[in-house]
């Protein structure tokens, strides 16, 4: 949640104030289904179920499309950079085809909904491109995986990309992909939910979910009861199944620009070197009068960056170098999760008795994966026989864990363990009181062998426990968004300790003032 405490980074899609759509919360209300999360997964699932006649309620601690759903680039693509090639390296071709079919179904549902709801979008050619000759092998593997999965992808040589204002040695191209305003879609989904008789509660934090004795969601304002619960948050807010350890939280950045002259017609994402994701915006697929260019990239695991502001400035410098006269208008960031086996986790939560379901692990391609997950969740909740479901649901639902998945999980687990140890060790090297941090800065210090986070935002210096309330990781200061980020499992907190997102459920504890006047 971006508030005065967490900085002024605002997505291009959130410039126009919108009227609230939520209704007052009613503790102990009973519904057929309660959906936790008012992003694209939760709202798509809710609309599908409500249109089938179920009594559905959506609840979110923030607003509609508060986090990842409102902070992406608005690209819907089946090509997805290197994702298909990455999956194919470790899984059979049948699973890659099922993944593509799932995303195709998600894209089709999304565009059908947009057509029926008056949400405009554009069809564009998407490109996965190499910035150098060394990257052409990655282009070729992407092409091979896409063709094997049944996509009509085309190979382009450097000469075919001569009009691109940035280095491009070759690319895979896929026509008829989509660019859209993700917040406009999310709000249309919320309106469709209400029209179908559903309920929306915003500003209510969920603190737990239980299958027994009755399926219920616990909130800070009281419980809600349901036959079915869907956890449509970035990562599940309960630890059953230990999915927080099976995904990796990634933070990435976007900057929008006004650019003199013509914009690229297509969308682009690099497959080698530092990631550059390029997406033109027009009034047909973005906010009114918003003819701009969105450039994203520089992703990293949450809480493990040498400097978030530096990552954004690198995007700005690159864009101005390749699009002379580019004028920055907005900058923002978003967080998504990548599963260790590279396929989203969707379905029943372990030990949830078939009453609790979830979805996570879209690896930054949520605009098609989210409605695909919603289609699968809806089929399960409605009890549609497996034989009557699309083949892709069965194939993805019965995939096996392979050695590469285990290796990736072990590698990430080792990194998490190393971050846990180094965080505590580093905190011991500096004791409180510390000098009052400069505006927008934060520092971790040691008070009686416990890490303390001290930051200054909005002219106010605050002290909080710098220990994540999820699993005890020592937090890192995010200098771009003025947040405390956990390098273990990607929980994030505002300067005053308020939880923003991630598997942590509790706020950070405030501690007494721990800063002395700034040193000059």
Query: How do the domains of the chain map onto residue ranges?
Result: 12-71+184-246+342-402, 121-179+249-335, 426-516
Would you give per-residue pLDDT tens digits along the chain (520 residues)? 333 333 468 999 998 777 788 889 999 999 999 999 999 999 999 999 999 999 999 999 999 999 999 999 999 999 999 999 999 999 999 999 999 999 999 999 999 999 999 999 999 999 999 999 999 999 999 999 999 999 999 999 999 999 999 999 999 999 999 999 999 999 999 999 999 999 999 999 999 999 999 999 999 999 999 999 999 998 888 877 788 888 999 999 999 999 998 899 999 999 999 999 999 999 888 887 667 999 999 999 999 988 999 999 999 999 999 999 999 999 999 999 999 889 999 999 998 899 999 999 999 999 999 999 999 999 999 999 999 999 999 999 875 555 555 555 556 566 655 655 565 566 666 566 678 899 999 999 888 778 999 999 999 999 999 999 998 999 999 999 999 999 999 999 999 999 999 999 999 999 976 656 665 5
Q: pLDDT at position 1, please?
A: 34
Q: pLDDT at position 261, please?
A: 85
CATH number of the domain located at residue range(s) 426-516 in this protein: 2.102.10.10
Asked whether 501 and 335 are in contact (CB, 8 A), the reply is yes
CATH of 12-71+184-246+342-402, one of 3.30.70.360, 3.20.20.70, 3.50.50.60, 3.40.50.300: 3.50.50.60
Q: What is the pTM for the complete model shown?
A: 0.91
Give how far Cα 82 sits from Cα of 29, 94, 157, 315, 342, Å.
45, 17, 18, 20, 11
Give the whole-angstrom CA distance, residue 128 versus residue 451: 43
Strand 327-339, strand 483-485: pairing? unpaired
Name the token pair of 306: 């040498």
H/E stretch holding 170 reads: strand 170-180
Give the whole-angstrom CA distance, residue 86 versus residue 95: 12
Give the whole-angstrom CA distance, residue 455 versus residue 453: 7
Instruction: Please report how the helices 40-51 and 182-195 are oriented relative to each other, as an axis angle in degrees rounded to 10.
Output: 30
Q: pLDDT at position 424, please?
A: 53
- Please name the CATH architecture into which domain 121-179+249-335 falls: 2-Layer Sandwich (3.30)
Give the whole-angstrom CA distance, residue 311 versus residue 64: 27
């Amino acid at each position: 949640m971006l508030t005065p405490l967490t900085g002024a980074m605002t997505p291009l899609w959130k410039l126009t104030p919108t009227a609230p759509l939520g209704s007052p919360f009613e503790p102990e209300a009973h519904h057929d289904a309660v959906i936790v999360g008012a992003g694209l997964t939760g709202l798509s699932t809710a609309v599908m179920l409500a249109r089938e006649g179920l009594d559905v309620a959506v609840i979110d601690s923030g607003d509609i499309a508060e986090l990842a759903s409102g902070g992406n680039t608005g690209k819907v693509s089946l090509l997805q950079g290197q994702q298909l090639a990455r999956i194919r390296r470790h899984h059979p071709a049948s699973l890659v085809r099922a993944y593509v079919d799932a995303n195709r179904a998600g894209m089709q549902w999304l565009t059908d909904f947009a057509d029926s709801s008056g949400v405009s979008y554009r069809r564009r050619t998407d490109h996965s491109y190499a910035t150098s000759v060394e990257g052409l092998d990655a282009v070729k593997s992407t092409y091979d995986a896409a063709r094997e999965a049944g996509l009509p992808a085309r190979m382009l040589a450097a000469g075919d990309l001569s009009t691109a204002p940035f280095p491009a040695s070759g690319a895979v191209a896929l026509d008829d992909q989509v660019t859209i305003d993700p917040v406009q879609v999310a709000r249309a989904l919320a309106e469709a939910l209400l029209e179908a008789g559903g309920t929306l509660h915003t500003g209510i934090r969920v603190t737990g979910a239980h299958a027994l004795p009755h399926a219920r969601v616990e909130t800070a304002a009281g419980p809600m009861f349901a036959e079915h619960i869907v956890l449509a948050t970035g990562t599940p807010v309960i630890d059953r199944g230990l999915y927080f350890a099976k995904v990796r939280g990634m933070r990435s950045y976007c900057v929008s620009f006004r650019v003199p002259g013509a914009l690229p017609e297509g969308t682009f994402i690099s497959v080698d070197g530092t990631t550059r994701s390029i997406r033109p915006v027009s009034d047909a697929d973005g906010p009114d009068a918003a003819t701009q260019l969105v450039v994203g990239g520089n992703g990293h695991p949450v809480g493990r960056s040498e400097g978030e502001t530096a990552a954004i400035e690198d995007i700005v410098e690159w864009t101005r170098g390749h699009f002379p006269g580019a004028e920055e208008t907005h900058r923002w960031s978003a967080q998504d999760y990548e599963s260790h086996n590279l396929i989203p986790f969707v379905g029943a939560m372990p030990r949830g008795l078939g009453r609790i379901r979830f979805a996570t692990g879209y690896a930054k391609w949520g605009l098609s994966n989210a409605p695909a997950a919603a289609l699968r969740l809806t089929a399960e909740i409605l009890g549609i026989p497996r034989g009557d479901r699309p083949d892709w649901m069965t194939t993805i639902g019965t995939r096996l864990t392979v050695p590469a998945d285990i290796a990736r999980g072990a590698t990430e687990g080792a990194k998490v363990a190393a971050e846990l140890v180094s965080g505590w060790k580093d905190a011991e090297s500096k004791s409180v009181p510390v000098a009052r941090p400069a505006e927008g800065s934060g520092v971790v210090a040691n008070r009686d062998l416990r890490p303390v986070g001290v930051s200054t935002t909005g002219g106010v210096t605050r002290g909080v426990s710098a220990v994540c309330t999820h699993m005890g990781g020592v937090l890192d200061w995010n200098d771009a968004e003025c947040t405390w980020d956990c390098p273990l499992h990607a929980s994030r907190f505002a300067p005053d300790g308020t939880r923003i997102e991630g598997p942590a459920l509790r706020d950070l504890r405030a501690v007494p003032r721990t800063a002395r006047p700034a040193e000059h």
